[in-house]
Every structure is written in C-alpha cells, then in structure tokens.
Amino acid sequence: MRNRRQELLLGAVGVLLALGVCEAVGRAGLVRRSYLPPASEVLARAVELAGDPVFLDGLGATVRAWALGLGLACAIAVPLGLLLGSVPVVDEAVRAIVEFLRPLPSVALIPLVSLLLGSGTETKVALITYASVWPILFNTVYGLGETDPLAKDTLRAFGFGRLSVLLRVELPATAPFIAAGVRISAAIALVLAVATEILAGFGEGLGIFIAQSGLATDGSRDVLAGVVWAGALGLVINSALVWGERWLFPWTAEHRGMR
C-alpha cells in the first residue's frame, strides 16, 4: 500500500512539474503563443470540451472503434496463440507468415483498407485489430512456454487428456501473460484509433477533431486540448487494466503485495 501511495505521489509531482515547464515556456515567449499556448489555457479548453456534445460524440466514436478492435484482436490472438504454443508443427508452418506480417506498420495499410472497406468505422476497427493482435498473440505463446512442466506431467500421469491439461494448467498459468499483452495492445489500439482518424481524414472521432483543429487559424489550443484528452483516455485505460491485473493475478511477481 505504501508503495502505491508513493507511486501516486511521485506521479502527481511529475505531472505538476511537466505542466509547470509547459506553462513557463508558453508564457516566456520562446515560441509564438499561437503555436504553443500556456498549459493553463490548454487545460481550460480541455475542460470546456467536456461540455461539448459534438466533441463527446466524436470521443465516443473513437472509444467504440478502440473497444471493437481490441475485442476482435483478443478473440483472434488468444485461441491462435494457444494453438501455436500447443502444436509445434502448426507454429513452424505459420511462423514465416507471422514474421512477415508482424513488422508491417498499420498506418501504411490505411489506403488499402480504406479501398476495401470504405470510409466507415470498419476501416478503423480492421487496422486496430491488425496492430493489436501481435502483443496478445506472442504473450500467449510465451506464457504457454513458461507453464510448469511438472504440473502438466502430474495431470498426464493421472490420465488427463491434452484438452484437460490445457484448461486446468496451461490456460490459468498463461492468463497473466495474456492480460499483460492485452494491456500493451490497449495502448497500441488507442494510438491506431486516433492516428487512423487523423491520417485518413474521414468519419468522426477524436483524431478528426485534432486534424480539423490543426487546419483552423490559431487552432493549436484545440489541437493540444484534443491531445490532452487522448492522453487522459490512455491513462484511464492503462490504470484500469493494471488494477484488473493486480486484482485477478495478485500472486505474480509484478503485483505481489500491491493489491
């Protein structure tokens, strides 16, 4: 508990210091105020946006695309990771394809996916899913490899079949690794959701608000306010997932004694 309080205190100090530096730079005139307004003005605009129904609708569209893309990524990556981690022949057969696809940047696929799926939410969801699959997939495969072989051998000695060993030993042991992969993918999914909206320039969402504000005269304050919302959203999502991991898997070395 003491460590958590210390973490929160240090985090708050870090945020205050960063805001103080931004405020000082904005007011010192080192950069034109229209390009870099003081942090207080940006935060005031960000708070003001909380009462703007149009902005909130766009924010909701981004969150929906994020949730759908991340959910699909989990639905694909976890079963596929269990299959690859359990059946070496399948792993060897698809390894070259996986290693070919994994480095491809999702943003480079925006034109192709837009042509195939149009300019709706489907494009965002497809790109988010593609980018989010990899951390969950590889964490699942890695987690299976870390399962205690003695526990598996014990169940096999008592006559349990392959599926029973997977469900009773391997899947529970792999769950913390899967959760860590989901947390990593959640951040990637949010980046992709906002970046796709900014680069594609269609539909509605937080990225569209940032892109349109960037084209407006003296729109830097709105751009930065949108960035503050994106950062706050990422912070809330990460905090919720970390809390969920601590609550579900308190025995892991990372979270032991912190619940």
The predicted-structure confidence for 163-222, as pLDDT tens digits, reads as follows 888 888 888 889 999 999 999 999 999 998 998 888 877 678 999 999 989 888 778 899
CA distance 154 to 136: 28
**Using only C-alpha atoms, what is the Rg of the chain?**
22
**Residue 257 in this model has a pLDDT that exceeds 70:** no
Per-residue pLDDT at 204: 83
* Interval 2-44: pLDDT, tens: 577 787 788 888 888 888 888 888 787 777 777 788 888 899 9
Rounded Cα–Cα distance for residues 189 and 225 (Å): 20
Query: What confidence score (pLDDT) does residue 256 get?
Result: 63
CA 80 to the chain's CA centroid: 20
Predicted local distance difference test score (pLDDT) of residue 258? 58
Q: What is the pLDDT of residue 148?
A: 85
Separation of CA 18 from chain center:
23
> Which ranges of the chain would DSSP assign to H, the alpha helix?
2-28, 39-49, 53-86, 88-101, 110-117, 121-145, 149-157, 162-165, 171-200, 206-215, 220-248
pLDDT tens digits for range 56-106:
999 999 999 999 999 999 999 999 999 998 888 888 888 888 888 888 888
Q: How far apart are the first and last CA of the chain?
A: 7
